[in-house]
Amino acid sequence: MAPGNEMLECGSGSAKVSAHFRRQGYKCTMLDYSEAGLNAGRARFAAAGLAGRFVVGDVNALGFQASRFDIVYSGGMLEFFSDIRKPIVEMVRVLRPGGVFAATMVPRKWSIQTLADLEIAVIRSGKRLLTGRIGEAWQMVRSVPNHYGVNSAKLREYVRACEDAGLVSVHGLGISPFPSLALPASGQIAYVRALKRWRPAWNRFDRSQSRWTEWVGSGYRVYGVKAR
Ligand SMILES: C[S@@+](CC[C@H](N)C(=O)[O-])C[C@H]1O[C@@H](n2cnc3c(N)ncnc32)[C@H](O)[C@@H]1O
């Protein structure tokens, strides 16, 4: 892949990843079925003075000709589909042979984030307990982890769906060893600073092929190349 290549991000929302690629010189198309999501991306691009194309559309029926893009990416989207095959087939259709597909997901499973969610729920429920809202507090802790409609697809199912859609050299990895936390402002700043220091360890974790990273990590990543 090289600057000047065409990238499509599906379910782009705030388009953070596309903005990164645009800065490297890629031509970016952002697709989302939510106008509000696209507006968040437009705002990010406008604030950074970046050019990009924003398209309203459904990833299950993309209005692009086959083999149109060099890179197709989606982040935080596939986990919301009960049938992951359909959107993957469609994204691979618009990818050129030799092009790269990548997706990240936040799956429904135990992970390091589950502990963090518990921490967040305990803090929030504590506030309710102090004001006598015991039922609400209990409900809050009980609902951890709350997966908000996320499917239960396993990493190997994503890998299989990618292979069946026509990708080769498909890899599936567990990623994101450090959870999102709800800390007081000073703690949050210190945590973000620490995360920056721990970035090399984080990168090593994300690139590891071992089974335990799939188990502990709070995300999945799959990537592969479209067969020529
Ligand atoms: C959790 S957000 C992720 C946004 C962004 N990729 C990110 O990582 O911050 C999921 C996005 O997928 C979009 N989406 C969900 N189903 C879609 C579909 N069928 N077609 C296109 N976009 C979809 C939603 O509107 C939303 O913007």
Residues 87 and 127 in one domain: no
Q: Could you give the percent of the chain with pLDDT greater than 70?
A: 99
* 43 alpha carbon – ligand 1 mean position (Å): 16
Per-residue confidence (pLDDT) for residue 146, from 0 to 100: 67
37: nearest Cα among 57, 12, 17: 12
Residues 118 and 84 in one domain: no
Q: Is 41 inside a domain boundary?
A: yes
CA atoms within 13 A on the CB side of 43: 8
Tens-digit pLDDT profile for residues 42-59: 999 999 999 999 999 999
Residues 47 and 157 in one domain: yes
Count of domains in the chain? 2
* 74 alpha carbon – ligand 1 mean position (Å): 8
190, amino acid identity: A
Q: Is 84 inside a domain boundary?
A: yes
Q: Is 187 inside a domain boundary?
A: no
Per-residue confidence (pLDDT) for residue 159, from 0 to 100: 98
Confidence of residue 183 (pLDDT cuts 50, 70, 90): confident
62: nearest Cα among 38, 40, 29, 37: 29
CA atoms within 13 A on the CB side of 80: 9
Q: How far apart are CA 101 and CA 225, in angstroms?
A: 6
CB 32 within 8 A of CB 62: no
Residues 19 and 116 in one domain: no
Residue nearest to atom 1 of ligand 1 (CA): 76
Q: Is 67 inside a domain boundary?
A: yes
Question: Which of 8, 33, 83 has most ligand 1 atoms within 8 Å of CB, for mutation?
Answer: 33
Q: Which range of residues forms the domain containing residue 129?
A: 112-142
CB 214 within 8 A of CB 173: yes
What is the pLDDT averaged over residues 203-226?
93
Residue 77 has pLDDT above 90, yes or no: yes
Residues 85 and 119 in one domain: no
The DSSP bridge pattern shows strands 69-75 and 6-10 to be parallel
Residues 62 and 168 in one domain: yes
Tens-digit pLDDT profile for residues 126-149: 888 888 888 888 887 777 766 778
Instruction: Identify the CATH number of the domain in which residue 166 sits.
Output: 3.40.50.150
What is the pLDDT averaged over residues 161-181?
94
Q: Could you give the percent of the chain with pLDDT greater than 90?
A: 70
* 77 alpha carbon – ligand 1 mean position (Å): 5
Q: How far apart are CA 108 and CA 148, in angstroms?
A: 9
φ, ψ dihedrals at 87, nearest 5°: -65, -30
**Helix-then-strand count for the chain, H and E:** 9, 7
DSSP 8-state assignment for residue 49: T
Confidence of residue 125 (pLDDT cuts 50, 70, 90): confident
Residues 17 and 80 in one domain: yes
